[in-house]
Amino acid sequence: MNVFYRIQPNNSEMKILLIVCDGMGDRPCGELGGKTPLEAAYKPNLDRMASEGMCGLVDTIAVGVRPGSDTSHLSLFGYDPREYYTGRGPFEAAGVGMELREGDVAFRVNFGTVDGDLVVTDRRAGRIDDVTELSRAVDGIEIDGIRFTVKAGTGYRAGLVLRGEGVSHMVSDGDSHESGSRVIEVKPLDGTPEAGKTAEAMNKYLIKAHGILGEHQVNRKRIAGGKPPANFILARGAGRMPHIPPMKERYGLKAACVAGAGLYRGVAKAVGMDVYTPEGATGKPNTDVKAKVSKAIELLNSGYDYAFIHVKATDVYGHDGDAKGKMKFIEKVDEALAPVLTLRDTVVAVTADHSTPCSTKNHSGDPVPLLIWSPDLRTDDVKEFGERPCGKGILHRIRGLDLMNELLNLAGRGSIYGA
């Protein structure tokens, strides 16, 4: 729990800009001469900010713990995931623009393909590029007092929200996470009547939706065209929408998010940020980082106190084990950050939500580098932004949950704990 926050009015004019490069942290890579992609990258802007600012390492969850992207972002925004997180579903659903209320249960879902025996033959239904119409066909159904709402995301993805008296998130996935096996029944994960009821209604809903989707003209056309029909909802990551005090209420910050990828938009929205996705911000390696940076600066210049930029592709390269690609993408980010150096009266932080080492191709529990650049702070000797240089910085090794307090502090916006 992060008990030190108090809502208080304050008169600081200092703004906060947080830039998170997803999965940027790494380990030494042989193909980069024993440097990490960040250490190896040519990144004059980041290095200048590191030189003029202060550096450190961040365990976004805790030492050695491998963070998810959802829990780590909650932490970086100062919200303890042990208090606010029960599953990814609500954040994905918020990310596709669904309005969740406290107590709603949500899943992230794929529209997939099953055969006549309910064996999954394609978890992404041939990577169907839009499920808006199909989502509408299975939206708004009510079973046993639970209302099922569906909204399409990008491609084959969608959000599924369950609302009703006594709905529970303590239910298993309905997704075996692999092709070739039968869809699995959703099961209660605890002995409560709520979990039992939710699992039962969910199974009824999935079968009912399967019937509707099988008959849907979109799928008839797909079959006619030799494409796999998107005829089953594969649901996972059930979570209950908690009561999350918005950033405005908690920190007095009018906050905005600039992100391309759904999950990050969802987490940002859940903590009360206004969410922007400028044209060209794709959440992919081809993303327009410059467009994101100028959008964030524009927002800070037009009434927002806090802006969060999310850049996804560093993580993608890590998952692919592509150290050179990751390095080059970091160079692209660095170039796009040039306008940030013109900001005044702004506390800028650059960090990652977790490490995704090219050697392991998955999230690791290695701490992430952090730089904070602001006109009024204690500089250190670090001249270069990187995992090992940051390990020598004056911020030492902090937790993700500490970052928000540090940024509020440097922006002159923190409240005193005590008197």
Q: Does 365 bind its own copies (CB under 8 A)?
A: yes
Residue 152 vs residues 110, 130, 232, 264: alpha-carbon distances, Å: 10, 8, 14, 16
Q: Does 87 bind its own copies (CB under 8 A)?
A: yes
Residues between 377 and 406 that touch its own copies (CB under 8 A): 377-380, 387-388, 391, 394-399, 402-406
Of 22, 47, 70, 104, the one binding its own copies by CB under 8 A? 70
Residues between 123 and 182 that touch its own copies (CB under 8 A): none
Residues between 232 and 291 that touch its own copies (CB under 8 A): 237
Q: Is 224 helix (H, G, I), strand (E, B) or coil?
A: helix
Q: How far is the CB of 71 from its own copies (least distance, A)?
A: 3
Q: Are 311 and 20 in contact (CB under 8 A)?
A: yes
CA atoms within 13 A on the CB side of 154: 10
For residues 186 and 202, what is the distance between their CA atoms, to the nearest angstrom?
7
Q: Judging by beta carbons within 10 Å of its beta carbon (0-12, 13-18, 19+), is residue 39 exposed, middle or buried?
A: buried
C-beta of 103 vs 412, nearer to its own copies: 412
Of 13, 44, 62, 145, the one binding its own copies by CB under 8 A? 62
C-beta of 72 vs 135, nearer to its own copies: 72
Of 97, 214, 246, 412, the one binding its own copies by CB under 8 A? 412
- Give every strand in the sheet of 346-351, ordered side by side: 274-276, 255-258, 306-311, 15-21, 346-351, 368-373, 54-59, 397-399
Of 37, 53, 68, 325, the one binding its own copies by CB under 8 A? 68
Total chain residues near its own copies (CB under 8 A): 60
Q: Does 83 bind its own copies (CB under 8 A)?
A: no
Of 123, 169, 326, 363, the one binding its own copies by CB under 8 A? 363
Q: Where are the beta strands (DSSP E) in 153-282?
A: 157-163, 232-240, 255-258, 274-276
**Element of type H or E holding 55:** strand 54-59
Q: Is 243 helix (H, G, I), strand (E, B) or coil?
A: coil
Lay out the site mask for its own copies across 17-56 (x = CB under 8 A, - = otherwise): ----------xx-------x--------------------
Structure token pair of residue 155: 């491609």
Q: Where are the beta strands (DSSP E) in 271-318?
A: 274-276, 306-311
C-alpha angle 251/278/230, rounded to 5°?
105
C-beta of 218 vs 394, nearer to its own copies: 394
Q: Is 130 helix (H, G, I), strand (E, B) or coil?
A: strand
Phi-psi group of 227: left, alpha or beta (phi > 0 → left; psi -120 to 50 → alpha; rest → beta): beta
Q: How far is the CB of 312 from its own copies (least distance, A)?
A: 15
Of 23, 37, 53, 81, the one binding its own copies by CB under 8 A? 81
Q: How far is the CB of 211 from its own copies (least distance, A)?
A: 30
Strand duo 54-59 + 368-373: pairing? antiparallel
Of 38, 40, 41, 85, the one binding its own copies by CB under 8 A? 85
Strand duo 105-114 + 54-59: pairing? unpaired
Q: Does 88 bind its own copies (CB under 8 A)?
A: yes
Q: How far is the CB of 4 from its own copies (least distance, A)?
A: 5
Q: Does 65 bind its own copies (CB under 8 A)?
A: yes
Lay out the site mask for its own copies across 195-234 (x = CB under 8 A, - = otherwise): ----------------------------------------
Q: Does 321 bind its own copies (CB under 8 A)?
A: no
Q: Is 208 helix (H, G, I), strand (E, B) or coil?
A: helix
For residues 40 and 22, what is the distance between their CA atoms, to the nearest angstrom?
17
Where does this chain bind its own copies (CB under 8 A)? Answer: 3-4, 27-28, 36, 57, 61-72, 81-82, 85, 87-88, 237, 357, 359-360, 363-366, 376-380, 387-388, 391, 394-399, 402-409, 412, 414-419
